[in-house]
Chain A
Amino acid sequence: MANTQTTVPLFVANQVLTAAQQNLSAGTGVPVFATTVTRDAAFGGSNKALAEGQLAYIEASNIVQYYDGAAWATVGPATASALTYITGASFSAVTSVSAPASTFTSTYQNYKLFLNITSGGTDGASIQMRMRVSGTDNTSAVYFYGMNGLGANGTRYDINAATDSKFIFTYQQAGLSNSGLTLDILSPQETVSTRVGGTGFGINVGVNAISFYSGGGTFLTATSFDAFSLISSAGNFAGSYKVYGYSNS
């Protein structure tokens, strides 16, 4: 490309500068490199020594970077989206799936979770959620939740419990892909109560009527979590989950 350069020349006393050299200096306030490899090769030796404050534009990734004295850091472009993908996975033939440790960090206060079931466990088995820290689910009886449920048949099927050892947000149907969750998770990494709210898709427990749930729950004891588990109460389930962080500002 027109601005791409391969060296950052260092001129010496009494050197006669060519037009090309002058044009290079005048034309590229921020040196432009094809990749980070050509960027690194352009400094040192007979070229300018890399030092703190150096700027660079990388064509391959369309980013502006600065050197902080030890490593290159990206200036921008800033992420335009308010949601940043953190982690996710597909799963099958398991009774539970857990997000990896450090899913929740101090980078974000609030999170979005999507669970897409492609094959439900046993008919009427609940989809449960537990908060998790250092690789272990928290099974304390401090999960409080209430989900308003309405069947497509017009019948109400609410879900609620106090002092349970897990959240229940919906129920699944064996082998079908009609269940799932969209949840907002508030302050899981802070040492406060973790609050979870959103929508559950699935069936009711009992007559297997297609049902939809809306509500939330609170893990009451102030605890800092780094992940969560999603559990099929009976039978293996399959699907995928994705976690996003809400930008703090």
Chain B
Amino acid sequence: MQEVTRFMATATVKPKIQIGDDVREMNDAEFAQYEIDQAANKTQAKIAADKATAKQAVLDRLGITADEAALLLG
């Protein structure tokens, strides 16, 4: 019983995927790629968020809105 409990505590629930009409958990190779992708996605999202923040900071410094900046650049 202790062994079962320990196994349940450590088992990883892998995300589900669908291929055609079949739904199943990711296999080990797919899950390994998923984890690589999740790390890359976080990095990409941070870059995008930082870019948006930097853009807003410039607008704030200039004291204009994004629409006004678009008018200037258009």
Contact B20 A98, beta carbon cutoff 8 Å: yes
Contact B66 A93, beta carbon cutoff 8 Å: no
Is A100 interfacial (CB-CB < 8 Å)?
A: yes
Is A91 interfacial (CB-CB < 8 Å)?
A: yes
- What string of 1s and 0s marks CB contacts (under 8 Å) between A66-90 and chain B? 0000000000000000000001010
Tally the A-B contacts, defined by beta carbons under 8 Å.
Answer: 64
* Bound Cα distance A100, B44 (Å): 29
- The interface size bin for chain B is 20 to 34
Q: Which of B33, B34, B48, B49 has the most CB of A within 10 A?
A: B48
Contact A236 B17, beta carbon cutoff 8 Å: no
* Bound Cα distance A124, B49 (Å): 10
- What string of 1s and 0s marks CB contacts (under 8 Å) between B41-69 and chain A? 10011001100100000000000001100
Main secondary structure, interface of B, reads helix
Contact A155 B18, beta carbon cutoff 8 Å: no
Q: Which of A89, A99, A168 has the most CB of B within 10 A?
A: A89
Q: Contacts A95-B17, A97-B17 given; 19 further ones with Cβ under 8 A?
A: A87-B20, A89-B20, A91-B18, A93-B23, A94-B16, A94-B18, A95-B16, A97-B19, A98-B17, A98-B19, A98-B20, A100-B20, A135-B19, A139-B33, A154-B66, A155-B70, A161-B44, A165-B37, A206-B48
